[in-house]
Amino acid sequence: MNQDIIRRYRGNPILTKAAIPYPVETVHNAAVVKHREEYIMLFRSHLRTGRSILGLARSHDGFHFAADPEPFLTPATEGPFAAYEEFGVEDPRISCVEGEYLITYSAYSRSGVRVALAKTTDFVGLERVSLITQADYRNVVIFPERFNGLYARLDRPHSEITPWSIWISYSPDLRYWGDSQLLMRPQTYHWDEMKIGPGAPPFKTAQGWLSIYHGVFKTMDGAIYRLGVALHDLHDPAKLLGVSDSWILQPEDPWEVTGYVHNVVFTCGAVPEADGTVKIYWGAADSVMCVGEANIADLVELCLE
């Protein structure tokens, strides 16, 4: 009996390096949003230098994507971002807030990994706004709405005392972030016991903000990346209404189980649809892109069980 809450698309993987018109070694960990009538995917690709860039692909149905002829975002070579992007740009997330697309991504350099914020209204132009964390942060997702006038984000600092946990922070201007609070920690002897991190930017449901995150479990054969789901209060996103006890997706298909990094499903984007389903996108084994569908009500229920 197939009890999977996420129905994998039969045509997976939906985007691989073979379909990219410039040389790349992987297509993974992509953000996806609907812009006008198009699905826009910003995907990460390793180059043969071992460093990453971001490419853009478009689709009319959310399943068949065609990549633009040139990469979308490559490491800055001048200005204040250059020193922090010299080792590459990774794992983008896109949130649409008041008509602007806010793109967060990991910026790698000899100073560590920081999160950078850029914005666009049309996916043609792009303006880098600010480096919004110090080092040792990854996985920043911005809520699509403000709360009492403040932008809110889930973020993932790391320290020895609170390893790889999910926090929330607020900002009046997208540049200065504060009022941080710890929301979720990895749980001992649970599928997410080693690390957790925000995945797709939260989306609104009648019951709360649904957040799909990743959790990591360490085994004798390395780590397994899976996805879980949490529900945040609509008016106060720092209030967790529930977190699913079980994962919603784990590596099972051959391209999830083997690849550049084996046993990885890693999401950076989900697109809720008007029919009550959500398309969830994930990078498989840090190599290719996949998609599946779930009923939003099922995910909410899982959080509240």
> What residues form DSSP beta bridges with 266?
283
Minimum CB distance to ligand BMA smaller for 141 or for 300 = 141
b/e 14-33 (16+ beta carbons within 10 angstroms → b) = bbbbeebeeebbbbbbbbbb
Candidates 17-25, 58-66, 239-247, 260-268; binding stretch for ligand BMA (CB under 6 A)? 260-268
Regarding 286 and contact with ligand BMA (CB under 6 A), the answer is yes
Minimum CB distance to ligand BMA smaller for 84 or for 225 = 225
Radius of gyration for the alpha carbons in the chain, expressed in angstroms and rounded? 18
Selected from 264, 271, 284, 302, the binder of ligand BMA by CB under 6 A is 264
Minimum CB distance to ligand BMA smaller for 205 or for 287 = 287
**Positions in 174-233 near ligand BMA (CB under 6 A):** 225
- Least separation in angstroms between CB 148 and ligand BMA: 33
CB 123 within 8 A of CB 56: yes
Regarding 256 and contact with ligand BMA (CB under 6 A), the answer is no
Regarding 261 and contact with ligand BMA (CB under 6 A), the answer is yes
Rounded Cα distance between 8 and 296, Å, is: 15
Token duo for residue 180: 């941080």
**What is the number of other CB atoms lying within 10 angstroms of the CB of residue 245?**
12
Selected from 85, 91, 192, 256, the binder of ligand BMA by CB under 6 A is 91
**Rounded to 5 degrees, what angle do the CA atoms 114, 195, 47 make?**
50
**Positions in 138-157 near ligand BMA (CB under 6 A):** none
CB 107 within 8 A of CB 113: yes
**What is the number of other CB atoms lying within 10 angstroms of the CB of residue 280?**
28
> What residues form DSSP beta bridges with 182?
167
Selected from 85, 90, 192, 256, the binder of ligand BMA by CB under 6 A is 90
Residue 123 — left, alpha, or beta (φ > 0 → left; ψ -120 to 50 → alpha)? left
> What residues form DSSP beta bridges with 118?
103, 128
Minimum CB distance to ligand BMA smaller for 55 or for 283 = 283
Minimum CB distance to ligand BMA smaller for 101 or for 266 = 266
- Least separation in angstroms between CB 223 and ligand BMA: 7
Token duo for residue 72: 């979308």
Token duo for residue 110: 């000899």
Selected from 164, 177, 266, 282, the binder of ligand BMA by CB under 6 A is 266
Give me the residue whose beta carbon is nearest to ligand BMA.
Answer: 261
DSSP 94-142: EEEETTEEEEEEEEEETTEEEEEEEEESSSSS-EEEEE-S-SSEEEEEE
Site string for ligand BMA, 28-67 (x = CB under 6 A): -x--------------------------------------
Residues touching ligand BMA, count (CB under 6 A): 9
Candidates 79-87, 115-123, 180-188, 259-267; binding stretch for ligand BMA (CB under 6 A)? 259-267
By the criterion CB under 6 A, which residues form the site for ligand BMA?
29, 90-91, 225, 261, 264, 266, 283, 286
